[in-house]
């Protein structure tokens, strides 16, 4: 009886030991699997929501281009009134002939336009224009007798004024080049907004460009242009 009990006890002990070792082994495998999973998870690269350098550069270039196409430029833009209907902001609300009439730098031009019946209404009602607008100082370069003679000759005056107008809106990028005027001849613009622009092979300098009105882009110039026909 004692031998039998001893054998049973020994067998039971071996079985318990084997079971214990199996549980330890399983526990070790689970721990290793969990550890491996944690390691894999921690080593996976994080996904970044930050925009790439290329995207940021593209957005910046787009903003610069938009700014360049909408902002006035030139050394004499500060001579335009800071406030009121004749200011850069105020002129945006009115069509071009009305906007020019509110600007104190363009009194002679406005008088010349007014000397041609219906021209102001034609300019105001046009859907889109680009106007090269000579200042009072530009007209003052013309001898008084010659200027008075031009103002009295509606045919010649209409040709001169029409040579200053293109029948579409041209921003600082698009305005560079050769364009047909309402007079049927060509006006040529060289340069750029940053370095400066000239009109008709250097006849005039753009002193404040890309001034916005309700229906036109205006380029204020320092000399009167003369048509070629």
> Cα(171)–Cα(164) distance, rounded to whole angstroms?
16
Of the candidates 134, 140, 160, 131, the one whose C-alpha atom is nearest the C-alpha of residue 221 is 134
Please give the domain boundaries of the chain with CATH numbers for all domains: 75-221 (2.30.180.10)
> Cα(57)–Cα(80) distance, rounded to whole angstroms?
34
pLDDT at 102 over 90: yes
99 within 8 A of 133, measured Cβ to Cβ? no
160-211: pLDDT as tens digits: 999 999 999 999 999 999 999 999 999 999 999 999 999 999 999 999 999 9
pLDDT at 39 over 60: no
On average, the pLDDT of the chain sits at: 81
| pTM to 2 decimal places | 0.73
> Cα(11)–Cα(5) distance, rounded to whole angstroms?
10
3-state secondary structure 167-201: CCCCCCCCCCEEEEECCCCEEEEEEECCCEEEECC
């Amino acid at each position: 009886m004692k031998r039998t009990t001893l054998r049973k006890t020994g067998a039971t002990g071996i079985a318990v030991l084997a079971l214990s070792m199996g549980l330890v082994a399983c526990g070790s495998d689970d721990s290793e699997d969990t550890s491996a999973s944690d390691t894999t998870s921690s080593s996976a690269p994080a996904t970044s929501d930050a925009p790439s350098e290329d995207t940021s550069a593209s957005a910046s270039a787009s903003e610069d281009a938009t700014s360049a196409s909408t902002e006035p430029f030139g050394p004499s833009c500060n001579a335009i009134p800071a406030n009121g209907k004749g200011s850069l902001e105020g002129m945006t609300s009115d069509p071009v002939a009305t906007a020019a009439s509110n600007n104190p730098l363009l009194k002679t031009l406005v008088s010349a336009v007014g000397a041609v019946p219906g021209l102001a209404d034609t300019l105001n009602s046009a859907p889109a224009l680009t106007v090269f607008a000579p200042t009072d100082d530009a007209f003052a370069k013309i001898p008084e007798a010659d200027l008075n003679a031009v103002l009295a000759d509606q045919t010649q005056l209409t040709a001169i004024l029409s040579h200053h107008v293109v029948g579409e809106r041209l921003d600082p990028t698009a305005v560079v080049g050769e364009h047909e005027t309402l007079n049927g001849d060509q006006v040529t613009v060289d340069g750029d907004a940053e370095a400066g622009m000239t009109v008709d092979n250097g006849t005039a300098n753009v002193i404040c460009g890309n001034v916005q009105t309700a229906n036109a882009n205006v380029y204020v110039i320092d000399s009167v242009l003369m048509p070629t026909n």
